[in-house]
Amino acid sequence: MRNEKFLYLCTAMDYTINVKGRLLDFAEPRVMGILNVTPDSFYADSRAATKQAVVERARQITSDGGTIIDVGACSTRPGSAPVSQEEETARLRMALRIVRQELPDAVLSIDTFRPEVACMAVEEFGADIINDISGGSTAMFRMVSRQRVPYILTSHQPTMRGILLDFAERVQQLRDFGQQDIILDPGFGFGKSLEDNYLVMSQLEQLQAMELPVLVGISRKSMIYKLLESSPERALNGTTMLNTVALMKGASILRVHDVHEAVECITLFNRLTVKTLPV
């Protein structure tokens, strides 16, 4: 029975999303690399506030095997005050212009909760995905459906039951607006205590009932380093461990600072899937 449950959890779900006419499939999990165009993100090594730093970080993500570059220009770390829309827009324009010049075919995700900023990124730079950590708004739903761009929906609910109910309601709202491509993020670190985060992780496979790809973003977060009485700088080992758990429970995307290590994690995980195990 234990082996059967393990094999079930390791079975990859063959989801796809449409990225400007290109199908991005998740038959095997993908890595999303974080590029923060901010001076104050909680993990200092993820910050790329200069043009040269943006170039180096974008190239590192792709060379290490990342499929998606997630560009953010407004820190959402606990206790931080969001920068103005004007500042966020200026930072993003600088970074996106550079990344599009250096890596024109890269799949770009925009980490923002502002519909106007998201719209700018899509219309001016052809952003491929909108990653909205706010939990969604009518204005954002209308914008992504109008632009026909894949959308990452985040839940701030503290329990898996609440997350499922939240997603069921909001996914239907998105469908009513005509949105086709939706990715679910259970929102580790958003609206959840340390205990809530681990309980949600332990029940993560329940999100497969939504029949949509799931993104997990726990990279170097406080749920790891606070439990281990450590720091973001020393949280890579814990991140890798929990990323492995997330993969076993059906995650399609790992959003990380450390792309190389996450890609290695997926490579090893793929050797344990039903497709590669002997009959």
Q: Strands, E, within the chain: which ranges?
A: 16-19, 22-25, 30-36, 68-72, 107-111, 129-132, 151-154, 182-185, 215-216, 253-256
pLDDT digits (tens, 9 = 90+) for 125-166: 999 999 999 999 999 999 999 999 999 999 999 999 999 999
- pLDDT value for 69: 98
Residue range 101-112: mean pLDDT, rounded? 96
Which residues are marked as active site?
221, 255
Question: pLDDT > 90: what percent of the chain?
Answer: 80
Full-model pTM: 0.90
> Is residue 100 within a helix (H) or strand (E), and if so which, with residue range?
helix 85-102
Instruction: Give the span between the Cα atoms of 158 and 120, in whole angstroms.
Output: 32
pLDDT digits (tens, 9 = 90+) for 184-226: 999 999 999 999 999 999 999 999 999 999 999 999 999 999 9
